Structure 1
Amino acid sequence: MAKIFGFTLKESEDFFPAPIYPNPKDTSLFLSLGPHVDVYYPLRKRSRVSAPYVPSGEILKKKEASIEVLPDECLFEIFKRLPDRETRSLCACVSKRWLMLLSSISGNEFYSASENLKPKIVVTENLEDNQITNEGCLSRNLEGKKATDVRLAAIAVGTASCGGLGKLSIRGGNHGTEVTNLGLKAVAHGCPALKAISLWNLSSIGDEGMIEIAKGCQLLEKLDLSQCPGISNKALLELAKHCPNLTDITIEACANIGNESIQAIGQYCSNLKSISIRDCPLIGDQGISSLFSSTSYTLNKAKLQGLNVTDVSLAVIGHYGRAITDLTLTGLTNVSERGFWAMGNGHGLQKLRSFTLSSCHGVTDVGLQSIGKGCPNMKKFCLRKCSFLSDNGMVSFVQAATSIENLQLEECHRITQLGLFGTILNCGAKLKALSLVNCLGIKDLSLNLPSLSSCKSLQSLSIRNCPGFGNASLTLLSKLCPQLQHVEFSGLNGIRDSGLLPLFMNCKAGLVNVNLSGCVNLTDKVISSLTKLHGWTLELLNLDGCLKVTDSSLVAIAENCPLLNDLDVSKCCITDFGVAALAQANQFNLQLLSVFGCSALTDQSLLALVKLGDSLLGLNLQHCNSISTRSIELLLAQLHRCDILY
């Protein structure tokens, strides 16, 4: 009877408990006493306990057995014997508990499909599975609240059955993140093909999780750690030992990473190609010197910013940087003139092609000249916020560095008009691009330059936010730079039509890109001359903030610039008439148009804009307050290819 009704009796219990029916006659509903049933039912006194009526089929329901009653240890053993990755992914969908258990099993703990009694020693013994594991073709990016241990576990288990995870990026939010070492362990167990991992602003992870990554993801090639205070030398040491394929390492604002880590990277990462270290106060000369001396023939790109290094590190870089092609040094406040001089005289930077110096107070005329001599193959040089560099040092540098093709100066306030034209005249025959930004020392001077040969190699000239640059400087430039094709004069209130016209007339090669944004004193006269002289080559024209430019300029553009594809007339004095003139132009192929802040435009421009929409890919109508919402909606409905900002 116990087996029939699914209950167990104890020795102290009577076989016949109190009746479950209030009326004894009702027992015939379940136990017939007819002659066809042989049931022994002895008479006994009934209790006075009443119970509600229970319909047929719901009496004493048997509790269904569930696998959930098994402890984690048993489920762990069961999951280890699942035949393939697809089955594991399906099981992970059952519950959070199953997902976390599956993610805790590393690849070498799963049992082989052919040998059910022995666990696998390698990641996989099946050829097809091995191919999938080594692909690592998938990438995942988690940010803010989406970055949790559960989601990482799901990624680790799920991606194994569809190509394998190859790239993982986790960025914590401003209010913290739920990613901990447990999530990193899941990735380490389930993603052996991981080749790139980026961890930003994660204060809740530490050495334990990163050590698991080092042991489980030994194919790792790219490592990016930013604002991870819980990671120390211990984790970096394990990564360097177990991940010999590391080629690209970025470490930023990790306060507990010091010299020991950098030394280990140089010792064990024989394939290292690029390294960037920023704002790590424990990293100094010992780590940097060891790194560059150990990777002398492999390291191609290096960026050092905000480190407590001295002249010693620069001397080592100058001697051992034989393979360096791209070098950036920023905010090295403890480096003096002697350090830059030693770096240039080390004669090890023979392959250096690009060099950026920013906020280094030790950059002086003597040090810069030494760098120019010690880097004979340098093509691009960028100098920012170096306040002790003068005109003499700039001219000496370009005379020594004869291979320079691209020169950029930003916030170098001791550079004057003499330094600018001295650089152009002495740069040799290879300088193609020159840029000056926020150089307050440049002011118009009455210079009588001797008749010297022009710089025919210079094709791009950019001068931005240098308030002292005016018509006098433009007049001199027009004589020295006849082959200009790309011109940017931005935020220069001192230039006027009379200064630009000679420059435009002397550009023999034909201007392609012209940016005159923020030049508030330019008028339609110079724009009309520009379109007539260079209309057949002009492709980009930026007149943003040229308050005196009107519809006349748009008419000239429509008539003379058939190749123009990018036009910006934001905050100019244009009206519906000017836009209509653009729409009526023949052979006009405009793709980008910005009329930001042109308050004179109204709904009457709608038809013209629709016509221009045949070729437009981008249209900026922001702050055009006279254009109604209804017109915007019509444009959105008709210009399907065009991205409209409103």
Structure 2
Amino acid sequence: MRGRDWINQILPDELILDIFRHLESKSSRDACALVCKRWLRLERLSRLTLRIGASGCPDVFIKLLARRFVNVRNVFVDERLSISLPVPLGRRRGTDHSVISALKIHSLAETNGLEDNETESYCLSDAGLAAVATGFSKLEKLSLIWCSNVTHVGLRSIAEKCIFLKSLDLQGCYVGDQGLAAVGEFSKQLEDLNLRFCEGLTDAGLIKLVDGSGKTLKSISLAACAKVTDTSLEAVGSHCRSLESLSLDSECIHDKGVLAVAQGCPQLKVLKLQCVNVTDGALQGVGTCCLSLELLALYSFQIFTDKSLYAIGKGCKRLKSLTLNDCTFLSDKGLEAVAVGCTGLTYLEVNGCHNIGTYGLESIARSCTHLSELALLYCQRIGNFALSEIGKGCKFLQALHLVDCASIGDEAICSIARGCCNLKRLHIRRCYEVGNKGIIAVGENCKFLTDLSLRFCDRVGDEALVAIGEGCSLHHLNVSGCHQIGDDGIIAIARGCPELSYLDVSVLQDLGDMAMVELGEGCPLLRDIVLSHCRQITDVGLSYIANRCTLLETSHMVYCPGITAAGVATVITSCTNIKKVLVEKWKVSPRTKRRAGSIISYLCDLGDMALVELSEGMSLDDGYCDVALSSNNK
């Protein structure tokens, strides 16, 4: 019967709550909360996670949120994230007047253009942390990223009241030894601990923590803690028998500390080391004692040799993931030892290890037949034959990353394409010998490919993209700096890849509006587009993207002389889901700024080469964030 509310009369609260918990997106849950007061109340009960950025007054926000979302288990506070608050400042019934006052102060500062370093910085304090402890007594995960005003006083409040705490992330916080001692005293279920960039920490604090909570700890991360030495790791080895993951980045750690962990933590599965004073002796101890090791990542090791990899290959038979980054003295023989001993290897990254060449990779191809992801970065000595062997031996390869590998060309890519038909992700950057022939082979053979990146590959042109469009259904495509690509190639992608969601065509001088029209027609799921430095694209082409791609969330269009303030305004008004727009400041009209100032980022006073370098190293998510406060139950 029309107008009859059957759902609220029949369904109990428990069933509606269960339905809310199965909703995948925050927008869907928000929509449900607007149906009626009952659904609003129940939806608030279903929220398990809060994410908070730097806001006008985070302490006040937390008190308000604690009253509304009483079942929250996970709280993430990241003070690197900041935007203007797109909310009306008028008084609403039932709204805390102190919150309105805080919002008005913050908004007034931004309106006057004083938000950057000229007004008082609003940071989470010990009072806010006490509000977290009081309001979220069921808290299991707490993340405080660069919360500079939090001290041991606030952390003690958390430790005393949140007895179910399992995960604590204090990256960039100056909590000191007293705070960690309190955590060790009260948090008897703690499993994950991140202390990266906690500069005030010393051995005394970490020892007290592991003495109290060591029995349950499974993961520890340490970086740039200059006063944490081998003494702390000896305590970890003595108390943390269940430790499974250890990440260390320190100049103060030596063989003694790493050996203590290796000998005292038999369940260690993940080990990441960037410790310049650790030598072969420590890694040999890991190979002897850590028989359950599955992931090993070694960064910037200048004083250990193939002896370490011999020990790993001999003892760590369960190793699945190996990362070797800037390890100068490793050679093909060490990599061969790992290949022979760790035949279950599925992930391999070799970055800047200049003594590893073709022979080492051939060993991987012969022995590690289950390899699913391979990354070769700045490997000048690895040639085509190595990848040809990978194509023959590693039939399960799904992802290949190549960066600045000057000896790798079309022959290698053809071999990969023919042998690794399950390839889903192919990323190639500045490999100047790779051209149309190799990419055409990929389009003809790799039907499952969804992610293709060909950044600054000068020999790749339209012919290659035509083959990709005919043979693959891409979701992500990056062809920035591929100067031979024009309208024909992008049109082929638009017609052949209707599920495309990410596109980077920056620095393509011959790309014009016709390609934009086809993208608007053929790619309705497009969410992120980078058009920077495309001189032939105008407001006309941009309008087709804005009007047809209704899901668009981010758009970069710096140094596009054909795009004017009118084009920018079209994107802002037409794309209701837009979250990020990167553009020159002079192209934003006062009206557009008033309407969407919080989602606009400016890139100005940079030369062309600076932009090129930026586009090479920056993704859409690097350095820009538009969510100050949100909540979900993931």
Note if 1:383 corresponds to 2:330: no
What secondary structure is seen at the aligned counterpart in 1 of 2:402? strand
Aligned to 2:576: 640
Aligned to 1:420: 361
Note if 1:576 corresponds to 2:513: yes
* Partner of residue 349 from structure 1, selected from 291, 295, 298: 291
Aligned to 2:256: 312
Change beyond 3 A, Cα 1:470–1:335: same
* Partner of residue 627 from structure 1, selected from 563, 571, 574: 563
Note if 1:266 corresponds to 2:210: yes
Q: How far off is 1:390 after superposition? A: 1.1
* Deviations 1:190-241 (CA, angstroms, capped at 9, x unpaired): 7755555555556666555544554454444333334555622x44333312
Of 489-498 and 185-194, more deviation after overlay is shown by 185-194
Aligned to 2:283: 340
Note if 1:517 corresponds to 2:455: yes
* Partner of residue 176 from structure 2, selected from 231, 235, 252: 231
RMSD of aligned Cα (Å):
4.0
Change beyond 3 A, Cα 1:301–1:530: same
Q: How far off is 1:275 after superposition? A: 1.5
Q: How far off is 1:345 after superposition? A: 1.2
Mapped to 2, the partners of 1:136 and 1:608 lie a distance apart of: 38
Mapped to 1, the partners of 2:308 and 2:189 lie a distance apart of: 37
Contact 1:558 1:588 in 2 (8 A): no
Q: How far off is 1:404 after superposition? A: 1.0
Change beyond 3 A, Cα 1:611–1:637: closer
* Partner of residue 358 from structure 1, selected from 296, 299, 303: 299
Mapped to 2, the partners of 1:252 and 1:452 lie a distance apart of: 39
How many residues get paired? 498
Note if 1:470 corresponds to 2:414: no
What secondary structure is seen at the aligned counterpart in 1 of 2:455? coil
* Partner of residue 300 from structure 1, selected from 240, 244, 247: 244
Which stretches in structure 1 are left out of the alignment for 5+ residues?
Answer: 1-133
Aligned to 1:369: 310
Which runs of structure 2 are paired with 1:491-506 in the superposition (5 Å)? 491-502=430-441, 504-505=443-444
Of 159-168 and 484-493, more deviation after overlay is shown by 159-168
Which runs of structure 2 are paired with 1:170-249 in the superposition (5 Å)? 171=79, 195-199=140-144, 207=152, 210-211=155-156, 213-229=158-174, 231-232=176-177, 234-249=178-193
Partner letter of residue 405 of structure 2?
C
Partner letter of residue 427 of structure 2?
E
Aligned to 1:79: none
Aligned to 2:7: none
Mapped to 2, the partners of 1:448 and 1:156 lie a distance apart of: 57
Note if 1:405 corresponds to 2:346: yes
Contact 2:70 2:135 in 1 (8 A): no
Partner letter of residue 398 of structure 2?
Q
Q: How far off is 1:180 after superposition? A: 6.8
Mapped to 1, the partners of 2:265 and 2:163 lie a distance apart of: 28
Partner letter of residue 216 of structure 2?
N
Which runs of structure 2 are paired with 1:525-536 in the superposition (5 Å)? 525-532=463-470, 534-535=471-472
Contact 2:384 2:407 in 1 (8 A): no
Partner letter of residue 458 of structure 1?
L
Mapped to 1, the partners of 2:180 and 2:529 lie a distance apart of: 50
Contact 1:205 1:231 in 2 (8 A): no
Contact 2:350 2:377 in 1 (8 A): yes
Q: How far off is 1:272 after superposition? A: 1.7
What secondary structure is seen at the aligned counterpart in 1 of 2:309? helix
What secondary structure is seen at the aligned counterpart in 2 of 1:357? strand
Note if 1:567 corresponds to 2:503: yes
* Deviations 1:296-330 (CA, angstroms, capped at 9, x unpaired): 2x222221221522223333333333333332222
What secondary structure is seen at the aligned counterpart in 1 of 2:482? coil
Change beyond 3 A, Cα 1:246–1:538: closer
What secondary structure is seen at the aligned counterpart in 2 of 1:393? helix
Q: How far off is 1:626 after superposition? A: 0.9
Partner letter of residue 229 of structure 2?
G
Q: Structure with the greater relative contact order (CA < 8 A, sep ≥ 6): 1 or 2?
A: 2
Change beyond 3 A, Cα 1:195–1:640: closer
* Deviations 1:140-194 (CA, angstroms, capped at 9, x unpaired): 74748846xxx47x95699469738864747599888787767766766777555
Q: How far off is 1:547 after superposition? A: 0.8
Q: How far off is 1:472 after superposition? A: 5.2
Note if 1:431 corresponds to 2:338: no
What secondary structure is seen at the aligned counterpart in 2 of 1:624? coil
Partner letter of residue 206 of structure 2?
I
* TM-score, length basis structure 2: 0.67
Of 442-451 and 521-530, more deviation after overlay is shown by 442-451
Which runs of structure 2 are paired with 1:541-552 in the superposition (5 Å)? 541-552=477-488
Aligned to 1:163: 70
Note if 1:284 corresponds to 2:191: no
Which stretches in structure 2 are left out of the alignment for 5+ residues?
Answer: 1-44, 81-115, 584-634
Partner letter of residue 291 of structure 2?
L
Aligned to 2:271: 327
Q: How far off is 1:526 after superposition? A: 2.5
Change beyond 3 A, Cα 1:188–1:549: closer
What secondary structure is seen at the aligned counterpart in 2 of 1:262? helix
What secondary structure is seen at the aligned counterpart in 2 of 1:516? strand
Change beyond 3 A, Cα 1:243–1:446: closer
Question: Which of the pair is proportionally richer in helix?
Answer: 2
Contact 2:233 2:258 in 1 (8 A): no
Change beyond 3 A, Cα 1:371–1:608: same
Contact 1:321 1:349 in 2 (8 A): no
Mapped to 2, the partners of 1:432 and 1:471 lie a distance apart of: 21
